[in-house]
Amino acid sequence: METGRWKGKEMMRLERESVIPILKPKLIMKLASLIERDADRTEFLKLCKKAEYTIRAWYQLQFEDLRQLYTLFDPVYGDKRLEQQNLSPDEIDTLELNFMTYLFQIMEKSNFKLLTDEEYDVAQSGQYLLHLPIKVDETKLDKKLLTRYFKEHPCDNLPEFADTYIIFRRGIGIDRTTDYFFMEKLDIIISHTWGWFLRVSRLERFFPKKHHLKSKKDNKKTDEISSEAEEPELFVERIRLENIELSMKNFLGKVTIQEPTFDRMIVVYRRASTETKQEHGIFVKHFKNIPMADMEIVLPEKKNPSLTPMDWVKFIISVVVGLVTLVSSLERPKADIWVVTAILSGLLGYCAKIYFTFQQNMVIYQNLITKSVYDKQLDSGKGTLLHLCDDVIEQEVKEVIISYFILMEQGKATEQDLDLRCEELIKEEFGEQCNFDVLDAVKKLEKLGIVSRDSVRRISCAPLNRANEIIGTTTEEMVMRAQQGPGA
């Protein structure tokens, strides 16, 4: 994930994800319609069913272990179940690590990725609807569980907050908001005026500018975006009020701002234990369509926002400078009433700006938090785990179907050729793009036994009839035949 200027616009360069963004029924029916012979089409549909039943059976035991383990760490009922099991602290620690291991495996299979510090910084390099500094109260979060897990399972590019909570993200979308944004526009105008006043009065040295630790790196990324813009579909534009020219028409009328979103986000954490209660519950919360610049709304145990220290410094210095200037003006033999009035108006206006801006941002913050709970949160706990289990199976089945279809229609291929052909099929037939995980797809095809390799490692598939024979009759098919009766 990178951000920078491209063709005069603020763009975010995003990597293509491995998730296949096509509904499975739509995928199957579309590919089946591309098969000319009716008999082959029937066999292909049969193969799709057999592949799904078999892959579901592969994961069933692992998913069942995951669900059973979570019953012990459910924040609502887990404590009672742990008491019934009468487990020792060491046994509980082992079960916790087993659950976290299963959870990370299923996240990887669902193509979720851990949010890194760099991605967090890029996402937070702008503002969208939330204009308050949101911080996590780390004293309310447990640090033992994740620290122990990552000690036994080292992971690259862990974020700084990985000892207290972790955030998984997947998919990219777009969020647009159209409104008048009067207070926000006024805030920008006052900020520009304040900056001009500091420069003219030479007081800007008392207000240190914000320096980003990765500014050099960001500049480099800006150059890369400008010079490597060969795939514009990988870029998402970020439209902020700060970058919109505030003419009289724009100030009085509605404007549209735009922000890339994380299509799915999952937050995992545990609350800190107290002297009277040992916490074992593990929270797993699932959110959708979270704007990158406002991703703080998904953070756990947020502190109540307040004026920042910098706001207080600006406020105090402004009052002091204003009073000193006012007193010095009044001490002159001929005090100019207009100068005194301008100083008082500017001072009162700036103080009012700080106060009313904060109050407005607090209202927006409360609305965003409420919306995140009711609209943005998909599920939590067991519901999230069930959703992930189904998601894994969906992705695995789609990878198998697409890769087998390409081999069936286009013949032998190397892994690299197969990867390109699958991505081209997804783009041409469905208008979607993804980074097809060909290695995982071939591994599943080989496990099913319906592909083989020649002496130069090219992959070929078994004919449809033979492929269905190799997979054989699945348990689901036997149950359906039994339900339909002897004549089925």
pLDDT for 347: 65
403: exposed, middle or buried (C-beta count within 10 Å: 0-12, 13-18, 19+)? Answer: buried
Q: What is the pLDDT of residues 251-308, one digit of tens each?
A: 788 888 898 899 999 999 999 998 888 899 999 999 988 888 888 888 898 877 655 5
pLDDT for 477: 85
Q: For residue 2, report the phi and psi dihedrals to the nearest 5 degrees.
A: -140, 155
pLDDT for 339: 61
What stretches in the chain show pLDDT beneath 70? 1-8, 183, 190, 194-195, 197-198, 201-234, 305-374, 486-488
pLDDT for 36: 92
71 CB neighbour count, 10 Å cutoff? 12
Closest CA to 282 of 86, 95, 110, 83: 95
pLDDT for 350: 65
Give the distance between the most distant pair of CA atoms in the chain: 113
pLDDT for 211: 45
Closest CA to 250 of 175, 189, 176: 189
230 vs 276: CA distance, rounded Å: 59
Ordered by start, the domain boundaries in the chain are: 309-359
Expressed in angstroms, the distance from the first to the final Cα of the chain is: 54
Q: For residue 178, report the phi and psi dihedrals to the nearest 5 degrees.
A: -115, 125
Q: How far is CA 275 from the centre of its chain?
A: 35
* Secondary structure of residue 271 in the 3-state scheme: strand
287 vs 253: CA distance, rounded Å: 32
Residues contacting 184, CB < 8 A, separation 6+: 131, 241
pLDDT for 319: 65
Closest CA to 256 of 274, 270, 231, 238: 238
What are the contacts of 416-420 at 24+ separation with CB within 8 A?
418/442, 418/459
pLDDT for 16: 77
143 vs 228: CA distance, rounded Å: 41
pLDDT for 227: 43
pLDDT for 426: 95
72 vs 92: CA distance, rounded Å: 9
pLDDT for 209: 56
Is the C-alpha dihedral spanning 345, 350, 353, 354 positive or negative? negative
